[in-house]
Amino acid sequence: MRALFIAAAVLMAPPALALDIDGRVDEAEWSGAQRVDDFRMTQPLTREPSRHRTEAMYMATADGLAVAFRNLQPADVPRTRQRFQRDNNGNVDRVNVYVDFDGDGRSGYNFMVALSNGIADSTISNENQFNGDWDGHWSHAVAEDEHGWSAELLIPWHIAPMRNDVGGKRTIGIAFDRVIGDSNERMAWPAISFNEQRYLSALNKVEVPQFSQSLLAVTPYVVGLVDNVDGKADIDAGVDLFWKPSGQFQLSATLNPDFGQVESDGIVVNFGAVETFFGDKRPFFTENQGYFEVPFGSLGNAQQLVYTRRVGAPADDGSGAGDVTAAVKINGSAAGFGYGVFAATEGDSAGRDFYALRATRDFQGQGLGAMVTRVNRPFLDREATVFALDHRWSPNDKWTIRSNLVGSSILQRGDTVRDTGGQLRIDHQIDPAWRQQLYLLHTGGDLQLNDFGFLDRNNFNYARYELSRRITALPETSPYASHQWRYAVSRRVNDDGVKIADAFAINRGSERRDGGNQFMEIAGWTSGHDDLITRGNGVVKHPGRLFLFAERFIPKKKHWSLYGSLRYGAEGLGGVDRGAWTAYIEPNYAVNDNLSFFAGLELQRNPDWLLWRGGNLLGTYGADQVFLNAGSVWLLGSKQELRVRLEALGLDADAKRAWRVAADGTPVRSADVIDDFALRNLGFQVRYRYEFAPLSYLYMAYVRGGAMFDAGAGPYSAREEFAGAFDLRDSEQLLLKLSYRFEI
């Protein structure tokens, strides 16, 4: 009888209203939502009640996590409606939703909607490391009236893997914030900031009904390319597949993945011993990749054990980019464990095979993880295996301790080399204003992670202590809203007992009441040694180093915004008074909310540029550099955009003197002849994009570029090299790409 009564009551109940994501917050639709209105200031981080009333609502539905915002904004607070490309928002009125679907503080997602209905999305790992390479499929809309504006979001459950909780309930971590673009004020619930050492694990834990969604998405693509220089044409095709039968299992696969022809890298000049890190925009390699992002060797997130740009990187035989034939990725959970599997293979005789296996387990206040990666490189007769363990412990809300142990085993031509490394990071929030951090790193001399990962160097021991203080109690008459002071000392030595340097750094980051910000830093290294510059041909004694840096951003008022920076870096053999000056200025002019132009100009003068010239030979150069970074963005309606991007660089380097490295590391003047040299680079792109449907695009692009290196015939002029860059035409291509996402 009781079951019959309940069934009858359900049948008699009025049907639940389906959400219409139109930006207008209808009371009937949101009547069952949880409501929060205790938004407090987190930018500046005073945690005082916000002066701009904001209300957020959230509820779990069968279609996904639904969130709505009501934002009151009086007439005397300007509304910034500048439209923008995805993930390039700038200072605009916007709201953010942060979600940790498992509530364990291990990985999360950020969803942003602006007043213009522009969006940004990113993954979050390691508490506060955001990666905007990922693009998700979720619904959003905004509406505006004389009192303010509102936004609605619907985030489907299939957007991320998540564990199966018990009892029909799910515990998630969640946070909301709102930004006033004109003043850059941020108010949040709960009152936490991603600039603090604990963010992801500090999201508010809420219990919601558990729902599950299945999804099968197939995205085929075709690319047509005409090369005007070589007189060739080519057509290529591939497909990405995403399958989620339940929240506990997700599979991503790709055949002949697009290497991002329409997302080209910027110009980088790097003559150093450490390679440049680049992000990855290939859809397969960004989907659910946060689970494999285990940082090692850096306080940031650039250095990690899985660096997806290795897949499809220049082939081992030097024949060009590796041809990625197929790749698969599995994310899921079972029996309280999380797991991930990654595999990719390249074709041709020089092709490589990449594998990664990761497992995690979380407990109260702790998390454990393990990962194994392997890369087979037949052309080099090399097999590289890396093992890693990571541990995270938060005994309370003031302490966070993270540790990593890694080991590599390299089998090449019958010989095996093994070594290990480890790092420890301890963060302590002393009180609301003060915090401290201790970071320790060791990498053995034979530790090799770069077959699949990214590590800037091995044979390294590094210890760093930082103390920071946030100041928010500033008078209303002050142009500043807050200051963040940081004081750090560090020591660097290698495993051979060679002291690289002791160092200090003092910096201040400031939020200004005009909505802008500024940053200043002074840092110095004691005299020591450089054990990288000669690429294994000797350790070089080095004098002290000095670094100064200042930058300022002035947000858009009416039509103009401005960014500028000034840098001084003394890194050569001439000492702290022979450093390089670099000045950069970039104005941005918005014709209206849809069309904007920018032009950044960088000038650099380096009287003491120290470069490796082979063996134990070094050269000191006087160098000048001119760099232009300019372009425009025109958003044609809600589905189309036209982007123009130009980068041009000219550099000249006048040889001053040659040095040989003595046995004790002393640079000794040498009679070796070293040549002057010059460099010019060009990158130019006109790109049109039409969005058929979410994550379905038509691209048409014209791309032209080139590089020229000249040596020995000087003298050269940076201005002439810069002017000559516009004549470069090593490549000139017309590209057409069509991709369409089919969801089942």
Burial class (CB in 10 A: 0-12, 13-18, 19+), 278: middle
Alpha carbon 662 to its chain centroid, in Å, reads: 41
Longest dimension (CA), the chain: 103
pLDDT value at residue 301: 56
Phi, psi of 410 (to 5 degrees): -115, 120
pLDDT value at residue 507: 97
DSSP-assigned letters across all residues of 565-626: EEEEEE-STT-TTS-EEEEEEEEEEESSSSEEEEEEEEEEEEEEEEEE-STTEEEEEEEEEE
CATH 2.60.40.1190 boundaries in the chain: 15-209
**Using an 8 Å Cβ cutoff, are 586 and 563 in contact?**
yes
Residue 649, H or E segment: strand 640-661
| 432 three-class SS | coil
**Using an 8 Å Cβ cutoff, are 374 and 357 in contact?**
no
- 136-163: per-residue pLDDT in tens? 899 999 999 999 999 999 999 998 888 8
Q: How far is CA 602 from CA 314, 563, 564, 726, in A?
A: 30, 12, 10, 17
Sign of the CA dihedral with 103 first, then 105, 106, and 108 last = positive
Of 78, 92, 167, 89, residue with least CA distance to 122: 89
Angle at 365 between CA 131 and CA 95, to 5 degrees: 35
Query: What amino acid is encoded at 555 in this protein?
Result: P
- 609-659: per-residue pLDDT in tens? 999 999 999 999 999 999 999 999 999 888 899 999 999 999 999 999 999
**Using an 8 Å Cβ cutoff, are 633 and 595 in contact?**
yes
DSSP-assigned letters across all residues of 164-200: --STTEEEEEEEEEEEETTTTEEEEESS--TTSS--G
Phi, psi of 208 (to 5 degrees): -130, 160
**How many whole angstroms separate alpha carbon 689 and alpha carbon 263?**
12
**Using an 8 Å Cβ cutoff, are 281 and 345 in contact?**
no
| 242 three-class SS | strand
Pairing of strands 640-661, 617-636: antiparallel
**Using an 8 Å Cβ cutoff, are 92 and 114 in contact?**
yes
pLDDT value at residue 160: 86
Alpha carbon 220 to its chain centroid, in Å, reads: 26
Partners of 423 in beta bridges: 404, 441
Q: CB under 8 Å to 656, separation ≥6 — which residues?
A: 619, 620, 621, 622
pLDDT value at residue 261: 57
- CATH no. for 15-209: 2.60.40.1190
Q: How far is CA 236 from CA 56, 259, 365, in A?
A: 46, 11, 49
Which residue ranges of the chain lie beneath pLDDT 70?
Answer: 1-18, 87, 258-263, 299-301
**How many whole angstroms separate alpha carbon 3 and alpha carbon 495?**
72
Phi, psi of 200 (to 5 degrees): -60, -45
- 87-113: per-residue pLDDT in tens? 677 789 999 999 999 888 888 999 999
**Using an 8 Å Cβ cutoff, are 658 and 674 in contact?**
yes
| 302 three-class SS | coil
**Using an 8 Å Cβ cutoff, are 233 and 227 in contact?**
yes
DSSP-assigned letters across all residues of 44-58: S---PBPSS-EEEEE
**Using an 8 Å Cβ cutoff, are 112 and 120 in contact?**
yes
pLDDT value at residue 4: 36
pLDDT value at residue 714: 74
Of 585, 594, 592, 591, residue with least CA distance to 630: 585
Q: CB under 8 Å to 188, separation ≥6 — which residues?
A: 39, 40, 42, 175, 176, 177, 178
Model confidence, pTM: 0.88
Burial class (CB in 10 A: 0-12, 13-18, 19+), 457: middle
Of 339, 135, 355, residue with least CA distance to 251: 339
pLDDT value at residue 297: 85
